Amino acid sequence: MIKDRGFFLSFLIMLLSLFIISTSLYAEEKEIKIGVLYPLSGAAATIGRDLQRAAELTAEIINNKTPGVDIPMAQWGGIPNLGGAKIKLIFVDHRGEPDRGADLAKRLILDDKVVGLMGAYHSSVTKTVSAVAERYGIPMINDSSTSPELTKRGLKWFWRTTPHDDYFNKDLFELLKGLTEGKVKGVKAVPKSQIKNLAYACENTEWGSNVAKSLEAYAKEYGFNIVKGILYTANSPDLTSEAKTLTTAKPDAMLFASYLSDSLLMIRTLKSMKASPRFFWGQDAGFEMADFTKTLGTDTNGVLTRTVFIAKIANVKKVAGQVNALYKKKYGDDLTGATARSIVGVQAWAYVLNKAGSIDRKAIQKACNEINIPANELVMPWAGVKFDATGQNILGRGLIGQYQKTKEGKIDLEIIYPFDLATANMIYPFPGWK
C-alpha cells in the first residue's frame, strides 16, 4: 500500500512538472521578443523617438485587431500561425555609436533572449550590430539604413526592407534628366547647361561617404559635372567654411547628405550667404523629419528631399492614409519616409514569423529568404517586399518630394518624382531665401 502511495505521489509530481514546463513554454510562445536598436538620445534622438513611436504603433496594430485598416495584418490579433502570440519590442538606445550598438545587440541576444533584431537607423551602427547578429546566428531585419555596402557583405542573417542610396541617387539623376526632357510636372524642358554643374556636401560617416561615392558615379553616368564635393564632420558646431566653399563653386545644384542638426545649420548658413542654386536636394535623413519644417518654416520652400513616403500617397493608396491617420491622431505628425520604413520593418517581422510558424532561427531564416509581401498590404508605394540573395528588398522604390508654401503660408510636402505620382507642379528654379 505504501509502495503504491509512493508511486502515485511520484506520478503526480511528474505530471505537475510536465504541466509547469508546458505552461512555461506556452507563456513564452505567447510573447515574441524583438530587440530594436534606435538612437533614443544624442544628436539623432528626435528621429529615434519617432521611429520608436511608429514601431510601437505597428506592434499595436498587429497584436490587437484594428478596425479601419484594410490589410490582413490589422485583423490578426497576434501572429496567427503562432497561436496568436504577441510581438514585444524591446527598445535600446545606441546613441549613434557603433561600438555601443554592438554591445547592446549582444546583450539583447544573450540576456533578453530576443528572437531577432531590428534597426539601427545609422548605417554605421547597423554595420556593427549586423556583425554581432551574424556571429550568433540571429535574424536581423533592417528597416531604415541605406548604405549600399550593408547588403554587399555576404551575410546570411541580415535582410533590408528599404531601398538603399544607389536606388535613391539614381532617382535624383532621373529627375534631373527629366527636367531636361520636359517630363517634370509644371516645368518646361530646361537646357542641360542650366543644371549641369553639381556640388555636394555629405557627412563623413558610413552613410554620407557612400552617398558621395554614388553621386560621383551617377554624375559621370548621366553626363553631369561634380564641380565640388565635400565630406564634413557630422554634428558640426559650425559649417561656415563648408557653405562658403559650396557657394564659391557656383554650382547649378546643391546636394546634401545630412542628419537633422547639420541640415538645419547648413540651410541657415547658406541663407546668410544668399546662396542661389537652381536646384536644392537633400538625401532624406534630416531633410524629411517633421522637425525640419517645424524649425525652418517657409525657409524650406523649394527644397527637395528623397524619401520613401509622403502623406499625399494617401491620394493613390488608401491603406497609407488609414495608417497615417492613426499615427497623426496619436502623435500629431504625419508619417515620414523614416517612420513609414519603421512600420514596414515591424510588419516584415510579423509576416516572417507567421510564415515561419515557429521561433526557431533556421525557420525564421528560411521564411526571410522566401517572404513575398504584396504591394496592397504595405503603406509604401512599393511593389512589395521580397529579398534577393544578398538580403536586399528588390521591390522597393523611392520618392522625391518638394516642400512648397501654401496660400495660407504653411508648408506641404508634394510628390515630384516619380512623374506619374506627382501631386503638384515643381517649383523651378529653387527660389532661394530673402
What the block records as the C-alpha cell of 40 is 533614443
Predicted pLDDT of residue 315: 83
Predicted pLDDT of residue 368: 98
Q: Is the pLDDT of residue 26 over 60?
A: no
Q: What share of the chain is helix, strand, coil (3-state, %, to 5)?
A: 50, 20, 30
Predicted pLDDT of residue 20: 46
- Mean of pLDDT values over 382-401: 95
Residue indicated by cell numbers 534628366: 177
pTM given for the model: 0.82
Question: Which domains, and CATH codes, for the chain?
Answer: 31-164+338-386 (3.40.50.2300), 166-314+398-421 (3.40.50.2300)
What's the mean pLDDT when you consider all of the chain? 92
pLDDT band, residue 135 (cuts 50/70/90): very high
Nearest 5°: the CA angle 425, 429, 434 is 110
For 143-176, the pLDDT digits (tens) are: 999 999 999 999 999 999 999 988 889 999 999 9
- Mean of pLDDT values over 309-315: 88
For 70-106, the pLDDT digits (tens) are: 999 999 999 999 999 999 999 999 999 999 999 999 9
Distances (CA, A) of 189 to 114, 175, 290, 423: 54, 12, 32, 19
Q: Is 235 helix (H, G, I), strand (E, B) or coil?
A: coil
Q: Is the pLDDT of residue 28 over 50?
A: no
pLDDT band, residue 235 (cuts 50/70/90): confident
d(CA 144, CA 114): 20
